[in-house]
Structure 1
Amino acid sequence: MKIQRIHHVAYRCRSAKETVDWYIKHLNMDFVLAIAEDQVPSTKATDPYMHVFLDAGNGNVLAFFELPNSPPMGRDPNTPEWVQHIAFKVDSLATLEATRQRLMAAGIEVIGPTDHTIFQSIYFFDPNGHRLELACDTATADMNEKLDAVKWAMLEEWDRTRRAPKHAAWMHEKALKA
């Protein structure tokens, strides 16, 4: 078996309507589907929910569940908030910058742009507290080849030592010097 693609990725939200409106307004996504039930089809548990789906482009679907009978949303206290995030690809640095300006004008706090050498990105949070990233690829073919050549060695070294291998340290060297 070979996976064809991700069908959808689902997260929890505080308000389905607020979430759909926010993603339409700020990230220009299309609202494509809503499903609401009183019983969970997979578990048969009685737990009313609203399940909304947004088109993130090219067949990528982002979905959310509003669960009114569940305790308030929280985060894993053992995972830093920068770790779990959804990253969306944009077509150009100009789009990245224009979106950054639009988000900031709407009162949304934005980190970046951050230069990762092979891409640049900005970071911000949706109204549910989910961290989002917009990224624009900037890698050259040579950079991608260098990274591909060391990925297995890096993984093996990490697995043995739990220390960051330096095979691809060149990606952030200039940022660390700044």
Structure 2
Amino acid sequence: MINLKRIHHVAYRCKDAKQTVDWYKEMLNMELTVAIAENEVPSTKAPDPYMHIFLDAGMGNVLAFFEIPNSPDMGRDENTPTWVQHIALEVEDIDALVAAKEYLQSKDVDVLGPVNHGVFKSIYFFDPNGHRLELAANTGTKEQFQELKRVAPLMIEEWSQTKRAPRHAAWLHEQD
């Protein structure tokens, strides 16, 4: 049996490592903790220079990026809507979420939300690489999260058979 400790890091591609480091520092106060660069990929031995940067997302969480200049320009999966693939980061509370929105807007970042998801509220925006980011503040009670955990397996089973949204947790978006 595998016993996971936590996510070590999640890695995405970036257009420019320095621009990415600077943006995440200025906009989200994330510190650069590690930079690794090689001219050959360690795992495959492919001759492909890269810069791999690691940013502190708080509480031991790490968001990493690769700049790979010898590859074609970055794109995205055109078959996946832009709202699906995103990086969600948690803030302390609603006040912090509202303050983050105001701060980002003061830096000319286009921000959507807050959007009420029943047990948390979120704002959404894009980084300079085109990655969608979400800042979320939990608002749910212990009992609400327990109920969501209880119905999750039932919802997965129903979804797998019908491919239609089960109603077990519809209350999340029926309140405002």
TM-score range, shorter chain: over 0.9
Which residue in 2 is equivalent to 1:105? 106
CA-CA distance at 1:146 after TM superposition: 1.7
CA-CA distance at 1:174 after TM superposition: 2.7
Give deviations 1:149-168, integer Å, cap 9, x for gaps: 21111000000000000010
TM-score by length of 2: 0.98
Which residue in 2 is equivalent to 1:20? 21
Which residue in 2 is equivalent to 1:95? 96
Q: Which amino acid letter does the alignment assign opposite residue 128 of structure 1?
A: N
Question: Residue 87 of structure 1 aligns to a residue in which SS?
Answer: strand
Note if 1:133 corresponds to 2:134. Answer: yes
C-alpha distance in 2 between matches for 1:29 and 1:143: 31
Q: Which amino acid letter does the alignment assign opposite residue 92 of structure 1?
A: D
C-alpha distance in 2 between matches for 1:128 and 1:149: 37
Gaps of 5+ in 2: none
CA-CA distance at 1:12 after TM superposition: 0.3
C-alpha distance in 2 between matches for 1:14 and 1:144: 38
CA-CA distance at 1:145 after TM superposition: 2.0
Note if 1:114 corresponds to 2:124. Answer: no
Which residue in 2 is equivalent to 1:80? 81
Question: Residue 121 of structure 2 aligns to a residue in which SS?
Answer: strand
C-alpha distance in 1 between matches for 2:53 and 2:139: 33
The 5-angstrom pairing of residues 58-77 of structure 1 reads 58-77=59-78
Question: Residue 132 of structure 1 aligns to a residue in which SS?
Answer: strand
Which residue in 2 is equivalent to 1:162? 163
Give deviations 1:134-159, integer Å, cap 9, x for gaps: 00000112211221221111000000
Q: Which amino acid letter does the alignment assign opposite residue 135 of structure 2?
A: L
Question: Residue 102 of structure 2 aligns to a residue in which SS?
Answer: helix
Q: What's the % identity of the aligned pairs?
A: 61
C-alpha distance in 2 between matches for 1:142 and 1:29: 32
C-alpha distance in 2 between matches for 1:65 and 1:142: 40
**Aligned-residue CA RMSD (Å):** 0.7
Question: Residue 49 of structure 2 aligns to a residue in which SS?
Answer: strand
Question: Residue 54 of structure 1 aligns to a residue in which SS?
Answer: strand
Question: Residue 45 of structure 1 aligns to a residue in which SS?
Answer: coil
Note if 1:153 corresponds to 2:154. Answer: yes
Which residue in 2 is equivalent to 1:34? 35
Question: Residue 147 of structure 2 aligns to a residue in which SS?
Answer: helix
Give deviations 1:117-148, integer Å, cap 9, x for gaps: 10001000000000000000001122112212
Point out 4+ residue stretches in structure 1 off by more than 2 angstroms: none
User: How many pairs does the alignment contain?
Assistant: 175
